[in-house]
Amino acid sequence: MERCGWPGDDPLYVAYHDTEWGVPEYDSRALWEKLILDGFQAGLSWITILRKRDNFREAFAGFDPNVVADWGEPEVARLLQNPGIIRHRGKIEATITNARAWQEIEAQQGFDRFLWDYVGGEPIQNAWATQQEVPTQTALSEQISKDLKKAGFRFCGPTIVYAFMEAVGMVNDHIVTCHRHGPVAEMGKSRG
């Protein structure tokens, strides 16, 4: 069975690739969680974050942005002592700021709609033959990054946003020979 080359043979990475990556996600809270985790990934590998994801979920109240938005310095100090997560003050503080920004967007139109409107509500279906063809950012990820920052988000540059778009299925970047390309493409057509 062929798959994209990036997960290698790490069982956790393979399972993530085969069951989560690229599957369209339409839940506002789940989208926020993934964007936060992609922000924590900056400068690190995704497998590092994936191995700590359960710790992150526990540390950040199940990634409930309505809870995290009320946090302040005591919670930042607590999180900086947690060895199960990435202890980076800027990223932790950004998570709190991003929860507040999420609340604003969620109240105005829904964070899910805010994001999915960029692609007309349906995933962009790419047809890359090799992993080398897949971009690390696009004009669209640059625009979304710019708009997120304007809305108050941090740690959401165009490369982070593009990785997020791939992960949540806004764009199908499984290579065409990957056994997940077709099924993921079908999921994008079946939203209803």
Contact 174, 4 (CB under 8 A): yes
Instruction: State percent of the chain over pLDDT 70.
Output: 98
**Residue 190 in this model has a pLDDT that exceeds 70:** no
**Residue 181 in this model has a pLDDT that exceeds 90:** yes
CA dihedral 113, 115, 117, 118 (to 10 degrees): 180
* 0.85 exceeded by pTM: yes
**Token pair in block for residue 84:** 């199960």
> What does the pLDDT average to over 2-28?
96
Confidence at 191, pLDDT banded by 50, 70, 90: low
Give the residue, 192 or 5, on which the prediction is more confident: 5
- DSSP character string of 96-159: HHHHHHHHHHHHHT-HHHHHHGGGTTS-EE---SSGGGS-S--HHHHHHHHHHHHTT--S--HH
**Residue 4 in this model has a pLDDT that exceeds 90:** yes
Confidence at 192, pLDDT banded by 50, 70, 90: very low
pLDDT tens profile 31-46: 999 999 999 999 999 9
> What does the pLDDT average to over 1-20?
95
Place of tokens 């938005």: 69
pLDDT tens profile 141-157: 999 999 999 999 999 99
| Neighbour tally for 175: CB within 10 Å | 21
CA-based Rg of the chain, rounded to a whole angstrom? 16
CA distance 63 to 57: 6
pLDDT tens profile 106-141: 999 999 999 999 999 999 999 999 999 999 999 999
Question: What mean pLDDT, rounded, does the chain reach?
Answer: 96
- The per-residue pLDDT for 188 is 82
Q: Does residue 172 sit in helix, strand or coil?
A: strand
Listed as own residue / partner, the contacts of 63-67 with beta carbons closer than 8 Å and 24 or more positions apart are 63/29, 63/32, 63/33, 63/36, 64/29, 65/29, 65/32, 65/98, 65/99, 65/102, 65/103, 65/106, 66/99, 66/103, 67/99
